[in-house]
Amino acid sequence: MTGSNHPFIADTTAKILLELQAVHFNTVNPFMLTSGRASPVYIDCRKLISFPRARRTLMSMAESTILDEIGFEQIDAVAGGETAGIPFAAWIADRLMLPMQYVRKKPKGFGRNAQIEGHLTEGARVLLVEDLTTDSRSKINFCEALRTAGAQVNHVFVLFHYDIFAESRSVLKEIGVELHALATWWDVLRVAKSLNYFDPATLDEVEKFLHAPAACEIEILRIDEDKRKDVAQRRALINTSDLTFLCLPDTAARESVTLVDNPDTCIIDASTAFRGHHDWAYGLPELSPAQRTRIRTAQRIAVPGCHASAFILSVHPLIAKGVMPPDCPLSSHSITGYSGGGKQMIAAYEQGENPLLTSPRHYALGLEHKHLPEMTMHAELAAAPIFTPIVAAFYQGLAVTTCFYSRYLAPGVGPQQVQAVLAEYYENEPFIRVAPFDAVENLDQGFFNIQECNHTNRVDIFVFGNKDRIVTIARLDNLGKGASGAAIQCMNLRMGASEMAGLTAIA
């Protein structure tokens, strides 16, 4: 086959998959995908290896698509992803007359401990080939492994792209990779309807799923109140889940993680136990595009602390952009509502019997607050800031103020430049707003409103000061972006949903 005719290729691919019974619909007992999702639709591309004529036709169309969409001399080698991608990579490499490698999901753990098998030339432009992709997250691991080995990876080819999960293309685009495919579920559905492959009721259910997969696949697993401390019951539910939230004290969170046996179960933990652990993704996607990508592919995600989130978001861009040195001396304090103190503190404040609770109260005066390690690590500071938290007599809301001298910053940097760096860094972030410098119009007769972000997942950042002294203030809802909102944002990223699903930036 010469030339590329996309509608013809898509329809022919769909017809082959339907004829070989590689297309499966089951709305009663959904299939578990590699990504950890439950789906009433499933494509078995591995079946194609047993049908030579169909395979030859598909490989001819694959060659045509690759040459048309990527180019004749833009690829130096073809790599297959373990395991389903290997035979297709071999056939495509043969047709293109190119070397082939294959990529393991992880280093094999013995011998040379290799993750890439085959000869790979430094700087080679490698096309990654897999049988299919659902949400594309597993492809990132293969691409990064090839890049670590010295290859350039800018394209991924699959026979079949689900094309129903949000951001399945954008997660690859974020790492500079373009996705190419022969067909999608929309092609299969169209051909199945035209050829009457399935009964109308089944096709209607499938079409509903394809239009709104997230609405169809979420099931909340519930534990009976009297079984909450039953280890066997907790273990069973955790390992049945695609994703488990842990909202526990540090010790209990660590114990719960030891119960995980299912490698496909993702854990999102809200304690401080794992926020500095290198095997856990820190759940603050606004840190960088790489951090957002890591959260999308992580099996273990640590939700940031409320004080830490506000502090890091104020400081990290300044260090990342070279405006502030990592050893800049910083003094910071946080004022927060009493809901962050848990049930006992909430009860104490709401009983209204202690007159001492009517005024703000400093705590952690030994300068060892439990958020300091993550604040230092993820802001990329050389040493911890002087940090003093203060709890006050309002339920929720938080503002972290950070103070520093301009003489410690890069030459010529004052408060206006600090504001400009923050504004540019976060200009495309849906949940972060950076106010203009010295934005007095955002104040209430000169006073700062700590609770303005309550009931949102938003962070507002302000810069005030003069040529000698600078202050940043970051406010958020300690129960929103400082806790549950951040957890939901991480879940959305990890499950391939819209990052903003279920969240709001509007008070």
Helix, strand, coil percentages (3-state) for the chain, rounded to 5, are: 40, 20, 40
Is pLDDT above 60 for 36? no
Specify the pLDDT at position 107: 82
Q: Which fold has domain 308-485?
A: Dihydrodipicolinate Reductase; domain 2 (3.30.360)
Which tens digits make up the pLDDT trace of 183-214? 999 999 999 999 999 888 888 888 888 888 86
What DSSP character marks residue 33?
P
In the β-sheet with 469-476, what is the strand arrangement from edge to edge? 361-362, 386-392, 331-337, 398-405, 469-476, 459-465, 432-434
Q: What is the pTM of this model?
A: 0.62
**Average pLDDT, integer, range 151-158:** 98
Every domain range in the chain assigned CATH 3.40.50.2020: 6-216
**Average pLDDT, integer, range 277-290:** 97
| Rounded CA separation 293/497 (Å) | 13
Contacts of 249 (CB under 8 A, 6+ apart): 271
**Average pLDDT, integer, range 19-38:** 74
| Rounded CA separation 398/371 (Å) | 14
Nearest to 256 by CA among 236, 279, 280: 236
**Average pLDDT, integer, range 373-384:** 97
Peptide bond into 272 cis (omega under 30): no
Is pLDDT above 70 for 109? no
Specify the pLDDT at position 148: 94
- DSSP letters, 42-74, are EE-GGGGGG-HHHHHHHHHHHHHHHHHHT-SSS
Which tens digits make up the pLDDT trace of 55-64? 999 999 999 9
Q: Cite the active site residues.
A: 306
Which of 10-14, 39-43, 403-407 is predicted with the least confidence, judged by mean pLDDT? 39-43
Three-state secondary-structure class, residue 157: strand
Q: How far is CA 287 from the centre of its chain?
A: 12
| Rounded CA separation 25/453 (Å) | 45
Q: Is 481 left (phi over 0), alpha (psi -120 to 50) or beta?
A: alpha
Q: Please give the class, per CATH, of domain 6-216.
A: alpha beta
Query: What φ, ψ does residue 488 adopt, rounded to 5°?
Result: -65, -40
Specify the pLDDT at position 47: 95
Every domain range in the chain assigned CATH 3.40.50.720: 221-303
Does residue 287 contact residue 432 with C-beta atoms inside 8 Å? Answer: no
Q: Please give the class, per CATH, of domain 221-303.
A: alpha beta
